[in-house]
Amino acid sequence: KLRSVVRGCGSYLPEKVLTNEELAGLVETSDEWIVQRTGIRQRHIAAEDEPTSALGIKAAEAALKAAGLTADDIDLVICATSTPDFTFPSTASVIQAGLGITQGAAFDVQAVCSGFVFALTTADKFLTSGSHKRALVIGAETFSRILDWTDRTTCVLFGDGAGAVVLEAQEAAGTNKDRGILTSHLRTDGRHRDKLFVDGGPGSTKTVGHLRMQGREVFKHAVSMVTDVIVDAFNATDTTAEQLNWFVPHQANKRIITSSADKLGIAPEKVVMTVEKHGNTSAASIPLALCVAVNDGRIKPGDLVMVEAMGGGFTWGSALIRW
Ligand code: ACO
């Protein structure tokens, strides 16, 4: 039996930092309002000449280095993004070429903020089927390019960045018996598609468009949706909240994260929180947070890590990983 084991992770944040104080100069808002409602204090913003692929390439290079691997070792590249460089080719194709990978397959997955969990699950299916050996799973976003910078209800929430993990198909035996992705659960309910969307695209306005959101509606559904798929993961693996070492949720909003952890009985010290510094980076938020917790020594080999996300669609999902 094959399992998808995490070999390494890497991330990249654009150099430019935009603080709440600076935002208060653009729209009528305040540091106090933003921190109190969301927990966000700053976010990173990509430079003019930094498309999503450029962020993804840097994160992927860091992940390969951490894994002790090179481009030649990778036969699958999956990029989760809602802010692609082009309508096509996929951002994964651009990243693959940028890394110098010429073998295997590369494609994008589009599930907005849940994109990384969807991409991770997709890669897991390829690897555990035996068809592919090593996957780069990337979450890369430049939401700054689809924000309406005159709309204070949305522009304060998001940031740019990228994160990546290298997964490897390994035999689930010996010391590896319990390692890797243990279970994952994905859901979509398109009836909610108008609660969080971009009002552009080739099939509508033929422009790129801007992110539009019914914030209260998103908030109302978020906690119950993510807790449902986490309970699914607990049930599928006979695991309890106490057994988790780390909870690495999608970083949308501090209040959603703490309410979900509370409801599930996950202790606050097990929650990895980066929203304060990164804002909501959509599909990039989970791999960015994973990297922070790996690099500061919190997540260690053998740890049980739960990731979860919810986003536009609505889409939502969870994955339980033995690191
Ligand atoms: N600064 C100051 N005031 C603001 C701002 C702002 N940036 N934005 C909105 N307001 C005002 C509103 O205009 C409103 O004023 P009014 O009462 O005079 O009309 C007041 O603040 C309250 O607005 P609400 O939208 O009701 O505020 P709420 O408490 O719901 O907080 C928020 C808004 C933070 C967006 C909240 O609904 C939320 O967190 N929703 C979840 C959305 C989210 O995280 N989306 C991310 C994408 S989805 C995902 O990743 C899961």
CATH number of the domain where residue 11 is located: 3.40.47.10
Question: 153, 175, 197: which is the final residue of a domain?
Answer: 175
Residues 46 and 156 both lie in one domain = yes
Substitution candidate for ligand 1 out of 150, 212, 253, 316 with most atoms within 8 A of CB: 253
The predicted complex's ipTM stands at 0.94
Neighbours of 68 (CB within 10 A): 10
Q: Where is 123: in which H helix or E strand?
A: helix 115-129
**What residue's CA is closest to ligand 1, atom 13?**
153
Task: Give me the mean pLDDT over the 65-76 stretch.
Answer: 98
Residues 151 and 185 both lie in one domain = no
Residues 67 and 11 both lie in one domain = yes
User: Cα 47 to the chain's mean position, in Å?
Assistant: 21
pLDDT of residue 175: 77
Does the pLDDT at position 214 exceed 80?
yes
Ligand 1 atom closest to Cα of 154? Answer: 35
Substitution candidate for ligand 1 out of 18, 219, 221 with most atoms within 8 A of CB: 219
Residues 194 and 228 both lie in one domain = yes
pLDDT band at 98 (very low <50, low <70, confident <90, very high): very high
Does the pLDDT at position 58 exceed 80?
yes
Residues 19 and 96 both lie in one domain = yes
The rounded mean pLDDT for the chain is 97
Residues 139 and 287 both lie in one domain = no
Residue 271 is encoded by which pair of tokens?
């929650």
Question: 106, 140, 175: which is the final residue of a domain?
Answer: 175
Residues 158 and 244 both lie in one domain = no
Ligand 1 atom closest to Cα of 156? Answer: 7
Task: Give me the mean pLDDT over the 30-44 stretch.
Answer: 98
Nearest-10 crossing angle of helices 285-295, 115-129: 80
Residues 264 and 163 both lie in one domain = no
Question: Structurally, how many domains does the chain consist of?
Answer: 2
Question: 146, 175, 204: which is the final residue of a domain?
Answer: 175
Residues 125 and 16 both lie in one domain = yes
**What residue's CA is closest to ligand 1, atom 49?**
311
What's the pTM value of the predicted model, to 2 decimals? 0.97
112 Cβ inside 6 Å of ligand 1: no
Contact 85, 141 (CB under 8 A): no
42 Cβ inside 6 Å of ligand 1: no
CA of 316 to the centre of ligand 1 (A): 21
pLDDT of residue 142: 98
pLDDT of residue 178: 87
pLDDT of residue 173: 87
pLDDT of residue 174: 82
Say what the alpha-carbon torsion angle 13, 15, 21, 26 is, to the nearest 10 degrees. -100
Q: Where is 195: in which H helix or E strand?
A: none
183 Cβ inside 6 Å of ligand 1: no
Residues 41 and 165 both lie in one domain = yes
Rg of the Cα atoms in the chain: 18
pLDDT of residue 176: 76
The CA distance from 115 to 22, in Å, is 29
The CA distance from 118 to 78, in Å, is 10
pLDDT of residue 69: 98
List phi, psi (to 5°) of 196: -155, 110
247 SS3 class: strand
Q: Which residues span the domain enclosing 44?
A: 2-175
Residues 6+ apart with CB under 8 A from 231: 264
Residues 62 and 84 both lie in one domain = yes
User: How open is the CA angle 8-111-37, to the nearest 5 degrees?
Assistant: 90
DSSP string, 56-86: HHHHHHHHHHHHT--GGG--EEEEE-SS-SS
pLDDT of residue 109: 98
pLDDT digits (tens, 9 = 90+) for 265-311: 999 999 999 999 999 999 999 999 999 999 999 999 999 999 999 99
What pairing do the DSSP bridges indicate for beta strands 2-12 and 160-171? antiparallel
117 Cβ inside 6 Å of ligand 1: no
CA of 156 to the centre of ligand 1 (A): 9
pLDDT of residue 38: 97
Picking from 122, 138, 133, the residue whose alpha carbon sits closest to that of residue 72 is: 133
Residues 134 and 276 both lie in one domain = no
297 SS3 class: coil
CA of 93 to the centre of ligand 1 (A): 36
Contact 143, 159 (CB under 8 A): yes
